[in-house]
Amino acid sequence: MRSGTITLTDRLVDHEIAAALAVSRMPVREALLQLKSEGLLEGTSRGFRLRQFTPTDIAQMFEVRLLLEPAAACSACEKASVAGLAHMKKAVESSQLAHDQNDAVAYMAAQTMFRQTWIGMVPNPHLAAMITRLADHVEAVRLATLSDPEFRSWSLSSSHQLLEAFLKKDPQLVEQAVHYNLRNAATSYYATQDRLISAN
């Protein structure tokens, strides 16, 4: 789902997935139901499919993320560990390499690792879980924007800035960087959608 391998046209059927993975049907069914309860999938007459969010849904999710993520990142900065900072640095280096190789899928994987690392340092586990769930809901945003090399370049620059703010142990700078990143991600997403609509 995070890499875009599963699309809105795919149907996820428990017995088919179980057969492909050579496992029993029940744990697959439970996993699909869990993803449905988290709002990532929706049921159909034949299995499940990715939940399709409306532009209003996306806008409202960005609104919630702007309320939560800057403050969460600020608290993560205050509690950041040496190991966590090193992991963030490694993720940014992997992002740089993927960008240089024009590998959008590897870039998204590295950026996911970067986000998960700082979110993992948020001292409030309930807040961290909520942010992770919202980020997964707007995976379509990342898939739409990070396939564009120009936006990837901006995204990489933003990650470097956020990493530097964390390394400086400057919570206010971290909060500003996350706020700026979210604002620009939203703007880029809407611009991408406008281009797709114009092309059609």
Looking only at the bridges linking them, the beta strands covering 48-50 and 41-43 are antiparallel
Q: Quick one: pLDDT band at residue 199, thresholds 50, 70, 90?
A: low
Look up the pTM and report it: 0.77
pLDDT value at residue 137? 72
Question: What does each C-alpha distance from 179 to 14, 63, 100, 143 come to in angstroms?
Answer: 39, 11, 26, 20
Domain residues of the chain, as ranges? 14-50, 55-199
Report the alpha-carbon distance of residue 31 to residue 7 in Å, rounded. 18
Q: pLDDT tens-digit profile of 6-48?
A: 777 889 999 999 999 999 999 999 999 998 888 888 888 888 9
Report the alpha-carbon distance of residue 120 to residue 183 in Å, rounded. 22
Q: pLDDT tens-digit profile of 44-75?
A: 888 898 887 787 888 888 899 999 999 999 99
Report the alpha-carbon distance of residue 74 to residue 161 in Å, rounded. 14
Query: What DSSP string runs through 14-82?
Result: HHHHHHHHTS-HHHHHHHHHHHHHTTSEEE-SSSEEE----HHHHHHHHHHHHHHHHHHHHHHHHT--H
Would you tell me how many other CB atoms lie within 10 Å of the CB of residue 179? 16
If DSSP codes are grouped into helix, strand and coil, which group holds residue 5? coil
In contact, 10 and 52? CB cutoff 8 Å: no
Tell the CATH superfamily of the 55-199 domain: GntR ligand-binding domain-like (1.20.120.530)
Please give the torsion angle defined by the CA atoms of residues 152, 183, 90 and 121, in that order, rounded to the nearest 10 degrees: -160
In the block, which residue shows the tokens 């740089």?
96
